[in-house]
Amino acid sequence: MTTVAIVGTGVIGASWAELFLGHGLDVVATDPAPGAEERLRSALEDAPTDRLRFVADPGEAAAAADFVQENGPEREDVKHALFAVLDEAARPDVVLASSSSGLLPSVIAQGCPKHPERVVVGHPFNPPHLIPLVEVVPGRRTAPEVVDRAVAFYTSVGKRPIRLAQEVPGHVANRLQAALWQEAYSLVERGVATVADIDTAIAYGPGLRWAVLGPFVNQHLSGGAGGLAHVLAHLGPPTEEWWRDLGRVHLTPELAETLVAGVDAELAGTDDRALVTARDAVLNALLAAKAAQPDLP
């Protein structure tokens, strides 16, 4: 593959473009928003742009591409209209991948009357040019070889794809995040801890271990010689009690206001651009450190 179409060049689309350009691919980008090309080129300050072309028509972008990465709004009607254009224009062998963070690929593929078998979700984690994870999710009519090609393509540009065996709303990683957010919001709502304290609890506690290894392997290592079997036998019963005590929250306007105020207080005096730069620097250092450790899975 030599040419990728980026359909939608917001935060996610621009980050995808940076990744693909950085791996020497040609990128044909498209976005209907006024000023989209200027914003994209401004966002790509650190990426080579000599292989970037911007077009107004998504069909033109898809027709030129060997792979399509769509990043439009999370609305079924918008996806259907957009994928109808992409399906009509792209060669039959071109994978149509959506960055959708929660929509089912089977639903998205309803917009593709000609070739629904080439539709997958290729959901990245923000920012895609740094975070390796991409969730490859087939729909009911997706051909297995299409999933194979998507996984191979993402791997070729340095991603760490996982292949879901079935589609579920939110895929895998967002569902795991949602479970954590539910309890975090509940703890704030119940007055157990502040927003800043909860951020500290994760960022300077389990989040450090999760950045190195996943939840199952971390549990296994915490069990000593007995490994995961020991943890499940000894901590399983109290863990089940904690599950039954987890909060069920509704994101009311009052709770939303409390959460936003908590973040504002936590970040008072902090420049968001500086924070992003610092985050990305740590991510790069962490990824380099992980790559240097061959014993990590």
Using pLDDT thresholds of 50, 70 and 90, give the confidence band for residue 62: very high
62 neighbors 5 (Cβ within 8 angstroms): yes
The mean pLDDT of 57-86, rounded to a whole number, is: 97
Hey, which CATH number is domain 3-163, 3.40.640.10, 3.30.465.10, 3.90.1150.10, 3.40.50.720?
A: 3.40.50.720
Q: 10 Å Cβ neighbour count for 235?
A: 14
Whether the predicted pLDDT of 198 surpasses 90: yes
**Percentage with pLDDT > 70 across the chain:** 100
pLDDT tens column, 229-252: 999 999 999 999 999 999 999 999
Q: What angle do CA 97, 132, 96 make, to 5 degrees?
A: 5
- Average pLDDT of the chain, as a whole number: 96
Domain boundaries, the chain: 3-163, 173-291
Contacts 24+ apart (CB under 8 A), 210-219: 211/286, 212/290, 212/296, 213/296, 213/297, 217/297
pTM for the structure as a whole: 0.92
Whether the predicted pLDDT of 180 surpasses 90: yes
Q: 10 Å Cβ neighbour count for 227?
A: 14
Burial of 286 (0-12, 13-18, 19+ CB in 10 A): middle
Map tokens 């080579």 to a residue. Answer: 48
Instruction: Quote the longest CA-to-CA distance of the chain.
Output: 60
Distance CA 93, CA 203 (A): 43
The mean pLDDT of 145-163, rounded to a whole number, is: 98
Using pLDDT thresholds of 50, 70 and 90, give the confidence band for residue 18: very high
Using pLDDT thresholds of 50, 70 and 90, give the confidence band for residue 224: very high
Per residue, the 3-state secondary structure of 71-93, as one string, reads: CCCCCHHHHHHHHHHHHHHCCCC
- Return the pLDDT at 120: 98
Distance CA 230, CA 223 (A): 6
**Percentage with pLDDT > 90 across the chain:** 98
- Return the pLDDT at 184: 98
pLDDT tens column, 75-111: 999 999 999 999 999 999 999 999 999 999 999 999 9
The mean pLDDT of 260-284, rounded to a whole number, is: 96
- Return the pLDDT at 125: 94
Using pLDDT thresholds of 50, 70 and 90, give the confidence band for residue 45: confident
| Helix residue ranges per DSSP H, the chain | 11-22, 36-43, 58-63, 76-89, 105-108, 144-156, 173-189, 195-203, 206-210, 215-222, 227-245, 253-266, 272-291
Q: What CATH superfamily is the domain 173-291?
A: N-(1-d-carboxylethyl)-l-norvaline Dehydrogenase; domain 2 (1.10.1040.10)
CA dist 263 to 41, 136, 179, 196, 267, Å?
A: 30, 32, 19, 7, 6
CA dist 278 to 5, 18, 122, 147, Å?
A: 30, 19, 27, 35
- Return the pLDDT at 46: 83
